[in-house]
């Protein structure tokens, strides 16, 4: 992999809302699991605390969680995105950080105590975007959602209560191209 290839993958990751509840031909859910597992392993964490956690919802579990989110959201317009996740996506990666790990860090490194929740946010964000990019390379489309409290309440009971939900990456086969994206000039200057 060259830097140019890496940057191409970075630029190819887009928000794709129009999904079909399928996987691309030649890809199975274990391929998705292997990608997420590798990213959870290799994404850096503060003090190498390995605070990131993830699960993959698909099939009945995916439908049940998103159905409960739909039912919990008041008003019709707010239900549209979770309805589309339930009905049009093949699955979702749910990203967490473990509060037990964050609290252990706070106890051990008191001088940084206030920073550790933010460090967990940062590392989770890195894992989310790595995963989004890698799933695109598998031929999947995805969009990132934050129905965190609703999702937490709907998750399978065996998920530890200390796992703090950060985001949901909803994926499937792209049914349409992503929308047009505009860019701002944010020049990166070199000072020497
Ligand atoms: C940290 C972060 C949070 C986001 N939250 C949401 C969200 O809650 N719902 C949503 O539909 N899109 C969400 N997005 C998607 C952004 O709107 C999208 O990435 C942005 O418009 C750029 O488009 P692109 O993903 O196609 O490059 C989020 C993206 C990031 C990076």
Q: Residue 165's beta-bridge partner residues? A: 96
**What would the mean pLDDT of 52-58 be, rounded to a whole number?**
98
**What would the mean pLDDT of 129-137 be, rounded to a whole number?**
98
Residue identified by tokens 């020049």 is 187
Both structure tokens of 133: 């990019």
Q: How many residues does the chain have?
A: 192
Q: Residue 98's beta-bridge partner residues? A: 163
**Domain 15-174 is found in CATH 3.40.109.10:** yes
171 has pLDDT over 90: yes
The CA-atom distances, in angstroms, between 66 and each of 60, 86, 161, 190 are 10, 5, 19, 46
1 has pLDDT over 90: no
- Taking CA atoms only, the protein residue closest to ligand 1 atom 12 is 144
Pick from 80, 91, 88, 57: which is nearest to 171 by CA? 91
**What would the mean pLDDT of 118-139 be, rounded to a whole number?**
98
Cα torsion angle, 77, 80, 81, 82, sign: positive
**What would the mean pLDDT of 138-153 be, rounded to a whole number?**
98
Identify the pLDDT of residue 131.
99
Of all residues in the chain, the percent with pLDDT exceeding 70 is: 100
- Taking CA atoms only, the protein residue closest to ligand 1 atom 21 is 15
Name the average pLDDT for the chain: 98
Q: How far is the CA of 17 from the centre of ligand 1 (A)?
A: 11
Any atom of ligand 1 within 6 Å of the Cβ of 126: no
CA 54 to centroid of chain Cα atoms: 8
Helix (H, G, I), strand (E, B) or coil at 31: helix
Both structure tokens of 138: 């598998």
Domain boundaries, the chain: 15-174
88 has pLDDT over 90: yes
Each residue of 58-96: b (16+ CB within 10 Å) or e? beebbbebbbbbbeebeeeeebebbbbbbebbbbbbbbb
101 has pLDDT over 90: yes
Confidence of residue 75 (pLDDT cuts 50, 70, 90): very high
Confidence of residue 38 (pLDDT cuts 50, 70, 90): very high
Task: Identify the residue with better confidence: 125 or 1.
Answer: 125
């Amino acid at each position: 992999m060259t830097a140019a290839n890496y940057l191409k993958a970075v630029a190819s990751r887009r928000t794709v809302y129009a999904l079909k509840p399928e996987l691309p031909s030649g890809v199975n859910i274990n391929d998705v699991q292997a990608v997420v597992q590798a990213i959870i392993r290799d994404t850096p964490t503060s003090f190498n605390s390995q605070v990131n956690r993830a699960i993959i919802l698909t099939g009945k579990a995916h439908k049940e969680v998103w159905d409960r989110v739909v039912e919990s959201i008041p008003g019709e317009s707010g239900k549209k995105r979770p309805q589309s996740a339930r009905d049009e996506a093949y699955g979702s990666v749910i990203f967490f950080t473990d509060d037990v790990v964050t609290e252990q860090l706070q106890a051990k490194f008191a001088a940084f105590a206030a920073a550790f929740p933010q460090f967990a946010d940062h590392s989770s964000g890195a894992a989310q975007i790595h995963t989004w990019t890698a799933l695109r390379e598998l031929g999947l489309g995805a969009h990132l959602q934050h129905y965190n409290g609703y999702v937490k309440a709907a998750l399978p009971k065996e998920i530890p209560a200390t796992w703090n939900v950060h985001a949901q990456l909803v994926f499937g086969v792209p049914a349409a191209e992503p929308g047009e994206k505009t860019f701002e000039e944010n020049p990166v200057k070199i000072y020497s």
